[in-house]
Amino acid sequence: MSDPGDLDEREKVLVAALDERELTYVRRGPGRLFVTLPGTKKLATHCWLVLTPHALLVEAFVCRHPDENLEEVYRFLLQRNARLYGVHYTIDRQGDIHLVGRVAPHAITDDEVDRILGQVLEAADGDFNTLLELGFVTSIRREWAWRESRGESLANLSAFAHLVEDREG
């Protein structure tokens, strides 16, 4: 079992890695960091880094419980898990989708923090639109139609134009 001094040293490594990458974070108690990873498709991914005596726990919210096509969403997540490094997809009791992982205490280095956070960002941001397409297609189409009927901007829905065109064509 690690002594409290080890937790302090590991936290210093985490903070230094976050600072070096100019990431926004808030310390929510000893060994508890709430990090915001900037993205492009998913504008921000919020990620907890929690130090315990035996591991660094990583948890990031990806998206809420899908409205539809659960089998396809879960198939995508399970197949995607095979290609992820250090984290994997899971669902919580409400069915919301998260990325979670554990890093061994001796592996908490600047490079490993970079790899893990890079994987969290690549997965959450890179898979976001696919998850929305699979799990929220009806809502996307409804939102598109509502905005069109009111003359509202469709700019932030442009990535989903093919879902509306497929239906109309």
Alpha-carbon gap, residue 31 to 75, rounded angstroms: 34
- State the pLDDT at residue 168: 57
- State the pLDDT at residue 111: 97
Same domain, 166 and 96: no
Which CATH number fits the domain that encloses residue 36? 3.30.1460.10
Same domain, 85 and 163: no
pTM above 0.85, yes or no: yes
Same domain, 33 and 107: yes
Same domain, 34 and 117: yes
Same domain, 103 and 148: no
- State the pLDDT at residue 3: 47
- State the pLDDT at residue 8: 84
Same domain, 50 and 117: yes
- State the pLDDT at residue 75: 98
- State the pLDDT at residue 84: 98
Contact predicate 106/135, CB 8 Å: no
Same domain, 153 and 110: no
What three-state secondary structure class fits 58?
Answer: strand
Work out how many domains the chain is built from and give that number.
Answer: 2
- State the pLDDT at residue 2: 42
- State the pLDDT at residue 102: 97
- State the pLDDT at residue 13: 95
Same domain, 129 and 162: no
Q: Which domain holds residue 164?
A: 137-169
Residues in the chain with pLDDT values less than 70: 1-7, 166-169
**Residue 97: how many CB atoms within 10 A of its CB?**
23
Same domain, 119 and 157: no
Same domain, 30 and 87: yes
Same domain, 90 and 142: no
- State the pLDDT at residue 1: 39
Query: Which residues lie below 8 Å from residue 105, measured CB to CB, with a gap of 6+?
Result: 2, 6, 10, 53, 54, 55, 56
Same domain, 79 and 147: no
